[in-house]
Amino acid sequence: MGSWYYGNGFQTIIDEPIFVNPTFHGIWGVCDEDLVVRADEEFVKLQQRGQPFLSVLFTTTNHTPFEYPEGRIEPLPGSEPASEENAVKFADHALGKFFLLAREHAYYNNTIFVIIADHNIRVRTSPNGVMPVDNYRIFGLILGGGIEPQRCDRLC
């Protein structure tokens, strides 16, 4: 993904090789929980310097082979631990941890958070090889310190 990010104007990528002692390392790199903890640390530094920032967190738990650290979530009853559903549950756990951390710091009140996916969980092609376009319709969540809750049903 580095070439995509640099090619689209990102100046800094904080990825697996520069993580110190991640709690979990899988085939895709560090787990989502390690990612959000590091993001919070970086955002605190930027806030302390008075530096405005734009950041993208690219999570990977919801990709085969659905790896995540043991003991962080209770796997869903009747499911294999390394399943899509438990990977989503762990990704949700990591996102929740991020917002618990973020709310403890000043940057939370000065930041607009946009949470989206690049696709939903069922992106496999159909038997005739056609990509299911409806599976790229995803929800979004916008939140931050001063944003009032509301629901928007418009296509964005």
Largest CA distance in the chain: 54
Q: Is 123 a residue whose pLDDT tops 70?
A: no
Instruction: Report which of residues 130 and 121 the model is more confident about.
Output: 130
Domain 2-144 has what CATH class? alpha beta
Under DSSP, the state recorded for 11 is -
pLDDT (tens digit per residue) in 84-93 = 899 999 999 9
Domain limits, the chain: 2-144
pLDDT (tens digit per residue) in 29-78 = 999 999 999 999 999 999 999 999 999 998 888 888 999 999 999 999 99
What does the alpha-carbon distance between residue 33 and residue 91 come to, in Å, rounded to a whole number?
8
First to last CA, the chain: 25
pLDDT tier, 154 (very low <50, low <70, confident <90, very high otherwise): confident
- The reported pLDDT for the residue numbered 58 is 87
How high does pLDDT run on average in the chain? 88
- Burial annotation 47-70 (CB, 10 A radius, 16+ → b, else e): beeeeeeeeeeebbbbeeebbbbe
Tell me the pTM.
0.86
Compute the half-sphere exposure of residue 33: CA atoms within 13 Å on the CB side of its CA.
19
Q: Is 129 a residue whose pLDDT tops 90?
A: no
Percent of all residues in the chain with a pLDDT value above 70, rounded to a whole number? 94
pLDDT tier, 116 (very low <50, low <70, confident <90, very high otherwise): confident
